Amino acid sequence: MRVLLAAALLAFSLPISADDTLGPEKVALLQDSSGWEYLSMDNSQNGFPTQHTCFDGSPHPDECGGRLTLTRQNRFVQQVSIRHQTVARHGRYELTGNQLAFYDEFGTRDGPYTVDIDPEKKLMSMDMPQVKVRLVLYKEYRKQLDEAQKRKKQ
């Protein structure tokens, strides 16, 4: 019995592997005050596949967009605009390792999503078996849009 108890305590005291946690740099990006712009959403695995043209991987700033902001106080705000109609959600989130779950203003849980962040490219993925979401850091998104507009004017 003591051996079993010692083994159980040892198992719970082992650190989470590097693949299962985001680390300080990625958590800081996750909680960047500018937020994250939605690039794509794909739920092709749920039996009713849809991919909205607004979130197909290319920006459509005149038609639609979406931003997700996560604070250090474990609060989130999500705003999605499609053809000048905005839907907003807010609430709290829990980050455990690389698992991110949202609880909206009604207490409805969404997730957990497996999160990964590419600090160099400023990209974030949030995946569940039936849905895949890709986002870009909002500052990077604005920078890319501004550069594209400058190229158009030339």
Query: Can you give the residue ranges of every domain in the chain?
Result: 19-153
3-class secondary-structure state, position 135: strand
Q: Which fold has domain 19-153?
A: Lipocalin (2.40.128)
3-class secondary-structure state, position 21: coil
If you average pLDDT over residues 27-47, what whole number do you get? 83
Q: Does the pLDDT value for residue 54 go beyond 70?
A: no
CA-only gyration radius of the chain, Å: 18
**pLDDT, the chain, mean:** 79
pTM for the predicted model, two decimal places: 0.75
Q: Does the pLDDT value for residue 50 go beyond 90?
A: no
User: In the chain, pLDDT over 70 holds for what percent of residues?
Assistant: 74
The pLDDT score that the predictor gives to residue 138 is 93
CB atoms within 10 A of CB 116: 14
Instruction: Say which residues have a Cβ less than 8 Å from residue 116's Cβ, sequence separation at least 6.
Output: 22, 98, 124, 125
The pLDDT score that the predictor gives to residue 89 is 93
Q: Which has the higher per-residue pLDDT, 99 or 132?
A: 99
Tell me how far apart the alpha carbons of residues 21 and 42 are, in angstroms, rounded to a whole number: 24
H or E, element range at 81:
strand 75-82
The pLDDT score that the predictor gives to residue 60 is 60
